[in-house]
Amino acid sequence: MAKRQRGSRPGQRPQAGRPAARGGARPAPGRAAAPTVAPRPSAGLTDEELARAEALEAAIVAEERAAADGRGRRDRRRSADDAPGPRARTGLSGSLAVIAADEYRYVARDLRRIVVLFAAMFSTLMVVYLLHVAGIVGNF
């Protein structure tokens, strides 16, 4: 259970005329400090602001299209090992089974690479052992 602090019970707020922190300067009684509010423009956006907003929006859309095109080119360049199966990449909009199938493809590829690496290391170790037993390679 959390330790309670003085004056911080749920649902309580500091009183309007008193400062929240201790030791601070107190306002004069009967006078509340008026909050300063920045003036708002009465009219809508100017033509310059609208043109700038349209230019920014066009630049953002162009960047998104370029990123999507670049992503598509990268997907086409993938090797046959990484190529998506009959159920293409769905992102997060598919069912859990489809997403899991996509992830299992990567797991299978990684396991294949691990087996190949293990076979290469084991065969190298056996060759060195046989050379050692035959007396070709000395103690090291």
Q: CA 135 to CA 38: how far, in whole Å?
A: 91
70 and 98 both lie in a single domain = no
Tokens of 132: 């050692």
| Domain annotation covers residue 102 | yes
Structural domain span for residue 98: 90-140
| Domain annotation covers residue 56 | yes
| Domain annotation covers residue 72 | yes
94 and 70 both lie in a single domain = no
Domain count across the chain: 2
Q: CA 118 to CA 124: how far, in whole Å?
A: 10
- Please, what is the Cα angle at 105 between 102 and 110, to 5 degrees? 135
Written as tens digits, the pLDDT of the chain (140 aa) is 566 666 656 666 656 665 555 555 555 566 666 667 666 666 688 889 999 999 999 999 999 998 888 876 655 555 544 555 555 554 556 688 888 888 899 999 999 999 999 999 999 999 999 998 888 877 66
| Domain annotation covers residue 68 | yes
